[in-house]
Amino acid sequence: MKKLYNLKNWNKKLLFLLPLAAFLVIMGCREELASQEFEKSELSLKTSEISELLPNMYNSGYNFSWTAGNNMGTGSAITYTLEIDKKENNFAHPQVYEVGKNVYSYDIKIGELNTILVKTYGAEPGKPFTMQARITATFADSSVKAQAAVTDFTVTPFKPFTDHLFIVGDATPGGWDITKSVELTKSTTDPSEFTYYAQLSTGNFKFAVSQSTTGTQDFYTRDPSDDNKIVYNEGGSGADLQWVIDTAGLYRVTVNLISLSIKIEKMNAPQFSDIYIVGDASPSGWDVSNPVAFKQDTTNPFIFTLECSLKEGNFKILAGTTGDWCGDWYRPMVDNQGLTDGAIQQLKGCDPDLKWKVSASDAARYKITLNAANNTIKFEKINVYMIGDATPNGWNMGTLAPMQKNGSVYTYTGELNPGSFKFTKFNTSWCDGTELVAKTKDQSITNGAFMEREKCEGGDATDLKWKVTTKATYTVTLNLDTNTLNIQ
């Protein structure tokens, strides 16, 4: 007999199983989709809401921020590049900033942005100017195409700070001749700060932005309500108020073009009490931690001197603390400056790394004199003279014949008579400079020990000489690097 099924009960079972099967299918699809889910957001870019750039914002940042790029589920690293350009250029001449990976924000200093607007793209200060910014996302996985977002931004720039500032007036070394005005030193860390460190006479001064002889150039003059403030006097218009120096002396004048402030300090001592020579042309080499020091004059603390042999190469002058390549330096006005007397500049930091250059023909022993009161330097080749009744020169100061020199070695070959002698490094008037004298009275010529005597210091007690007893031809060899004397 055939088995009969209860269709009614079967239909009930189907009605129960169908929703369950559908649920399982849907859940399976969802799991599959989840494993392939892509980032849905689009790359977008926005900028700061600052519409007017102001000088006091100079060191603040103008911000660009963006959303993450879509790596299409590949897990690829994303690198971002920011560009800005004048809107009409369509990024034909952009400023490019390589931002890097996983970074979603970038600041351009407002001072830098302002300079770009005015000097690169011709924006007119005081008038709105429209730029475009573009952020581009590129992917380590080459299967994902680069993505970009563009936005406009409009800002009003200010007139950029001058790159040069000159002090002019009858209180200054150049007087009122604008072509002889003295340029201030621009800070390497703050482009709005300038410093003058030198002598000022009694009189007046103000600041010019150039040495132009036209009467319409820009000046910075004294604020009528505050002597510690400056006023931007565009085109020479406005009240021509100046600062007054009542007492002549060494001054440090610091001007800040952001705060429109001025600080005038009369200096009673040099800015640094220790200075050193550093460089392969010098006896220090490039050892910034143990350099050879200058001597500070005991009567005028602004004068520093160093006598040393300079060989072919470069050198610069370290001020203050040793061991810091980015510390304070005295440098020439241009790089690879020769050994010429004149103006120097005091700069803090690693750059600009200006150095003096000693050529092969200039290599010799020098006396270097640095004047920290007026920031000047002087190079004098060292001559050595024998003086005394035992020598052909006699005691005739002012008409002495120098010894032959080769670097730091000085020689004399010739007749010496019975009598006395010593050495001098000057040939002007008595007590003008340094003498090399014996260590004992009437010292034998077989004894090469000697010492320095400055400007007749110590009187007769230190005026010690060598004694020649036999007339003959002698060779005298003096080495100032090794401080040795040999007479044969």
pLDDT tens for each residue of 169-188: 999 989 999 999 999 988 87
* Cβ–Cβ under 8 Å, residues 83 and 136: yes
CA dist., res. 169 & res. 253, Å (int): 14
Structural domains for the chain: 45-155 (2.60.40.10), 166-266 (2.60.40.3620), 275-381 (2.60.40.3620), 385-487 (2.60.40)
Single out the residue of 344, 377, 378, 348 nearest to residue 182, CA to CA: 344
Threshold 0.85, pTM exceeds? no
* Cβ–Cβ under 8 Å, residues 197 and 375: yes
Q: Count CB atoms within 10 A of the CB of residue 397.
A: 17
Number of helices (H), then strands (E), belonging to the chain: the values are: 2, 38
The backbone region for 72, taken as left when phi is positive above 0, alpha when psi lies in -120 to 50, beta otherwise, is left
CA dist., res. 276 & res. 315, Å (int): 10
Chain centroid offset of residue 198 CA:
19
Chain centroid offset of residue 348 CA:
5
CA dist., res. 92 & res. 367, Å (int): 57
Contacts of 485 (CB under 8 A, 6+ apart): 448, 449, 450, 476, 477, 478, 479
Please report, for residues 104, 227, 266, the alpha-carbon distance to residue 263 in angstroms, rounded to integers and kept in the order given: 42, 9, 10
Please report, for residues 38, 74, 84, 153, the alpha-carbon distance to residue 35 in angstroms, rounded to integers and kept in the order given: 9, 12, 38, 40
Contacts of 416 (CB under 8 A, 6+ apart): 390, 391, 468, 471, 472, 473, 474
pLDDT, position 223: 94
CA-derived radius of gyration, the chain: 39
Return the ∠ at Cα 70 (arms to 65 and 71), rounded to 5°. 125
Query: Mind listing the pLDDT tens digit for each residue in 469-480?
Result: 999 999 999 999
Buried-exposed string 44-72: b where 16+ CB fall within 10 A, e elsewhere = ebebbebeebebebbeebbebebbebbbe
Classified as helix, coil or strand, 227 is strand
Single out the residue of 387, 367, 391, 395 nearest to residue 379, CA to CA: 367
**DSSP per-residue letters across 461-477:** GG---EEE-S-EEEEEE
Exposure of 85 by Cβ count < 10 A (0-12 exposed, 13-18 middle, 19+ buried)?
buried
Exposure of 276 by Cβ count < 10 A (0-12 exposed, 13-18 middle, 19+ buried)?
buried
Classified as helix, coil or strand, 64 is strand
Classified as helix, coil or strand, 308 is strand
Exposure of 461 by Cβ count < 10 A (0-12 exposed, 13-18 middle, 19+ buried)?
exposed
pLDDT, position 299: 80
pLDDT, position 215: 65
Six-digit token string for 3: 């088995």
Classified as helix, coil or strand, 378 is strand
pLDDT, position 290: 96
Phi, psi of 447, rounded to the nearest 5 degrees: -105, 110
Phi, psi of 25, rounded to the nearest 5 degrees: -65, -45
pLDDT, position 237: 62
Return the ∠ at Cα 99 (arms to 95 and 102), rounded to 5°. 155
From first to last of its 488 residues, what are the pLDDT tens digits of the chain?
333 334 344 344 434 444 444 444 434 433 443 333 434 458 999 999 999 999 889 889 999 999 999 999 999 999 999 999 999 999 999 999 999 998 999 999 999 999 999 999 999 999 999 999 999 999 999 999 999 999 999 999 998 888 899 999 999 989 999 999 999 988 877 888 999 988 899 999 999 999 988 767 889 999 999 999 999 988 766 688 999 999 988 898 999 998 999 999 998 888 899 999 999 999 999 999 999 999 998 888 999 999 999 999 999 999 989 999 999 999 999 999 999 999 999 888 888 899 999 999 999 999 999 999 888 999 999 999 999 999 999 999 999 999 999 989 999 999 999 999 999 999 999 998 899 999 999 999 999 999 999 989 989 999 999 999 999 999 999 999 999 999 99
**DSSP per-residue letters across 76-117:** --EEEEEEEEEGGGTTSS-EEEEEEES--EEEEEHHHHHHII
CA dist., res. 310 & res. 382, Å (int): 11
